Chains A and B, each alone.
Chain A
Amino acid sequence: MSPRKTTQVISLDSTLPVGGSNRESMRRPLLGRGLVRQSRIAGILFTLPATLVFLVVLTYPIFQNVRTTFYSVSLMTGQSKFIGFDNIVQILEDQELAKSVSHTIVWTVASLVGQIGLGLIAALLIDKPWRGMRFLRTLFLIPYVVPVIASALLWQWMLDGHYGIVTEPLHSLGLVSEGMSPLGQESTSLAAAILINIWRGFPFAMLVFWAAMQTIDQGQYEAASLDGAGPWRSFISITMPNLMPAVVALIALRGIWTLMYFELIWLTTQGGPMGSSQTVAVYLYKVTMGEFQLGYGAAIATVTGLSLLVMIGVIMLFRRWWRNR
């Protein structure tokens, strides 16, 4: 039994579920004579309610989704017909889906770069024991807390083609045509949605970076400055290496969620105009909730889910390699 610290500073890397680095410390059960049998029964009883809910709302739906992949479902009659791999073949030939995939990549990469970049800058800015910093930190977190429906509507209003407070200077600069909203213009809709996503997501990255900065041993900075290192030198050689686990975790977790993040794009552009901001998640929603092609939708969901599984596997291997370097 390894000794376990009872108080420890939260380290993001050790608490994130990806890669299961937490497993070792989780392994220690309650000790006591004759507890083995009791512990088996208690464990099963305690996890039973959650297991039942998981079976109903997660396991069964996933199983059902894979099954539906091979059927053509009519919502009107409730009939489904077995069609084998037809839906999968359709995926390979779907030009609109291919376009959505490339939009998804742009959306994810740009959102992550923006959120992590701005989050890092904001974390460096608030990492100072000034009076009122705590209040500012709370303030900066608010965009992340506001319900996504409110954020989406608010930005639609600010980017309105006629009355939008943000659109006006864009019109003057000629970046957006007169009377148009950046969200309603093919050339700018995806970029506008990404901007909103950066606004919404950067506070999360900021908090994670800031928390990681609090765990850096300040002595390192003192030693570096005695050695004549300037602030940038210290930043590059001390801060950044200490933040790398947080960066990797952020890319992994937020990456997976941003790829399939649906609400923000749907509520601002609905993937338009002309599919210019349509990601896979939005396309999937349209195919199912708009066109009621449930079989084809299920096929897209299955293939996407499998691709994500592969990605998660690669990320876990990468993190294992990273830790054991």
Chain B
Amino acid sequence: MGLIQPSGKRSRLRVFPTIGRVIGLSAVAFFAIGPLCWMVASSFRPETELFQDPPQLISSGITLDWYREVFVGSEVLKWFNNSFTIAVLVTVLSVVMGTLGGYAITRFIFPGRRVFMGALLMSYLFPAILLLIPMYLLLSYLNLIGTIAGVVLAHLAITLPLSIFLMASFANSVPRELEEAALIDGLGLFGAFLRVAIPLMRTGIATTCLFAFILSWDEYLFSSAIAQGKAITVPVALAGFVTSFDIRWGAIMALSTLVSLPIVLLFGFLERYFEKGLTMGSVKG
């Protein structure tokens, strides 16, 4: 598996002198992380300090009122439950189908392989917004609007091409010799896949899980049309929150913090896999 390693002590390009580099890094860190710190800080600010004109940077007190308001005044647990259920289902389905499909195009010569790969490339590049109308019509024809199953199906249109593509890249980097040895030992093609290739593709499977989960958790476009009523997801509910209340910024920042938290934690733990997936040239948006 390809690894990206900083190249240690060897001499490197010095465009920035040390002081300039420190200043530059601080500036980028401030731009990247400052807004997120402000989001979290705002969710703990008392109302009087949140709404002052002009705004003040330093707050004198902290409060949990906004979180209380969110948990008491909305069905936030139901939204999170929906989003989580959908993301897990989407992840499992795309990883299973992605592993099978990605493995097949790197190992087997079969009729329709080129067509499959062409369709994969097209669907990978095709913007989701162009599928919105027919997807909506299809799911309403199947009576799946407002159901978990409908949202899962729509999300698969986004996560499946990426999953197959990622798994194909990983499968391609796994040496075939081990499977060939297993075949000679009498294991069938499926046995070699299951017992030899799958364990070797662990990293790829973890990476694909991570991306499928994040994409589904984050998805707004299809969900806004399909995840209505009982099946509403966090992003859709959160977007509705802005217009339905007289804008309760404290509560909105509390919800934004809550929706980001699982993803940032997941990313923090699996950052290595995330970088690997990104440098393989994946992920829309």
**A residues whose Cβ falls under 8 Å from a Cβ of B:** 6-10, 12, 15-18, 20, 22, 25-26, 28-32, 35-36, 38-44, 46-47, 49-51, 53-54, 56-62, 64-65, 68, 118, 121-122, 124-129, 133-134, 136, 138-143, 145-150, 153-158, 160, 162-165, 168, 199, 202-204, 207-208, 211, 214, 218, 221-222, 225, 231-232, 234-235, 238-239, 249, 253, 256-257, 259-263, 267, 281, 284-285, 288-289, 294, 297-298, 301, 304-305, 308, 312
Contacts and interface: CB of A to CB of B under 8 A. Distances in A.
Given A46-B101, A138-B271, 18 more contacts: A17-B120, A22-B169, A43-B113, A44-B112, A50-B97, A56-B138, A68-B134, A122-B28, A143-B35, A143-B36, A149-B234, A153-B238, A154-B36, A157-B38, A160-B249, A162-B51, A218-B12, A263-B220
A168 B165 CA distance: 46
B134 A157 contact: no
B52 A305 contact: no
Contact of B259 (A142, A147, A298): A147
Nearest 8 pairs between A and B by C-beta? A43-B110, A43-B108, A260-B127, A61-B134, A46-B104, A10-B2, A150-B256, A57-B157
Given A59-B119, A259-B127, A263-B221, A225 B100 contact: no
Contacts of A145: 214, 263-264, 267, 274
B268 A138 contact: yes
Contacts of A260: 127-130
A124 to B, nearest CB: 6
B16 A124 contact: yes
Interface of B: 1-16, 21, 24-25, 28-29, 31-33, 35-36, 38-39, 42, 50-55, 57, 96-98, 100-101, 103-113, 116, 119-121, 123-138, 153-154, 156-157, 160, 164-165, 168-169, 172-173, 175-176, 179-180, 183-184, 188-190, 192, 214, 217-218, 220-221, 224-225, 234-235, 238-239, 242, 249, 252-253, 256-257, 259-260, 263-264, 267-268, 271, 274-276, 278-281, 283-285
B53 A163 contact: yes
A142 to B, nearest CB: 6
Nearest to A122: B28
A35 B183 CA distance: 10
A238 B132 CA distance: 45
Contacts of A162: 51, 53
B133 to A, nearest CB: 5
A294 B36 contact: no
A221 B285 contact: no
Contacts of A150: 39, 238, 256-257, 259-260
Nearest to B8: A129
Report which residue of B1, B3, B121, B134 has the largest number of chain A beta carbons within 10 angstroms of its beta carbon.
B134
B260 A146 contact: yes
Contact of B253 (A12, A133, A157, A312): A157
B129 A262 contact: yes
Contacts of A39: 107-110, 189
Nearest to B31: A199
Contacts of A121: 24, 28
A320 B200 CA distance: 33
